[in-house]
């Protein structure tokens, strides 16, 4: 496997991540840039708030799929033996590149989203059991709070916990990556955390007593 080969796959992963589904969906179907409204974020939550569920759900699915596909590139292109640490490392690398593309998309002026859905797709490709367990945490917290940021942070923190304490993995790189995922979600949601502390973070849906 040559350096040129790897760099080509890295470029593909970045371009996949750079596809700004939220921005394009807003412009094509609503004639607006979702980044100019709501939280200013080109992500699923802001799309749902600004443009509605009919636009938000396809954006969610697309962002998840592009992360999944980016992380699957090393396996689909047979860049390393199946099940080997080298394959996992390459999947993590391509996933990381896709996240960079999502946050700094070349097709949308380098102003993207936080990459939660894309990250979920990447983790699903790398370790499905742990990822599905984290998704369960996300759903549980979301049903209780109705706040996407709290749900995302909780799911992110649970990822290294599940991986290290329950499911296990022979890959040291994946273990380190799981911790970095949790830290990254906390960092990217720092503004949300500030609003949570002030009691100003909005719910995606409101309970009856809040209406």
Average pLDDT, the chain: 90
**pLDDT for residue 2:** 73
The domain ranges of the chain are: 1-126, 128-211
Confidence of residue 209 (pLDDT cuts 50, 70, 90): very low
Distance from chain centroid for Cα 69:
13
pLDDT tens column, 111-153: 998 888 999 999 999 999 999 999 999 999 999 999 989 999 9
**pLDDT for residue 188:** 86
In terms of Cα–Cα distance, which of 132, 149, 161 is closest to 185? 149
- Report the interhelical angle of 172-188 vs 116-126 (nearest 10°): 170
* Residue carrying structure tokens 């607006």: 32
In terms of Cα–Cα distance, which of 41, 105, 37, 98 is closest to 71? 98
Confidence of residue 6 (pLDDT cuts 50, 70, 90): confident
More confident residue, 65 or 79: 65
CA 166 – CA 201 distance, rounded (Å): 32
**pLDDT for residue 58:** 95
- Whether the model clears a pTM of 0.85, i.e. scores above it, the answer is yes
């Amino acid at each position: 496997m040559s350096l040129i080969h790897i760099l080509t796959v890295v470029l593909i992963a970045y371009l996949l991540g750079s596809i700004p589904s939220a921005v394009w969906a807003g412009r094509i179907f609503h004639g607006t840039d979702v980044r100019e409204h709501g939280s200013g974020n080109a992500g699923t939550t802001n799309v749902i708030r600004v443009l509605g569920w009919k636009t938000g759900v396809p954006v969610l699915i697309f962002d998840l799929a592009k992360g999944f596909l980016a992380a699957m590139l090393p396996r689909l292109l047979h860049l390393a033996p199946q099940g080997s640490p080298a394959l996992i490392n390459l999947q993590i690398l391509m996933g990381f590149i896709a996240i960079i593309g999502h946050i700094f998309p070349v097709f949308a002026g380098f102003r993207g989203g936080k990459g939660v859905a894309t990250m979920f797709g990447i983790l699903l490709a790398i370790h499905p059991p742990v990822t599905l367990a984290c998704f369960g945490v996300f759903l549980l917290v979301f049903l209780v709070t109705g706040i996407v940021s709290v749900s995302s942070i909780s799911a992110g923190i649970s990822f290294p916990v599940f991986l290290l304490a329950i499911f296990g993995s022979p890959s040291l790189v994946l273990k380190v990556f799981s911790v970095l995922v949790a830290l990254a979600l906390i960092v990217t949601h720092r503004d949300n955390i500030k609003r949570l502390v002030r009691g100003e973070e909005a719910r995606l849906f409101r309970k009856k007593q809040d209406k």
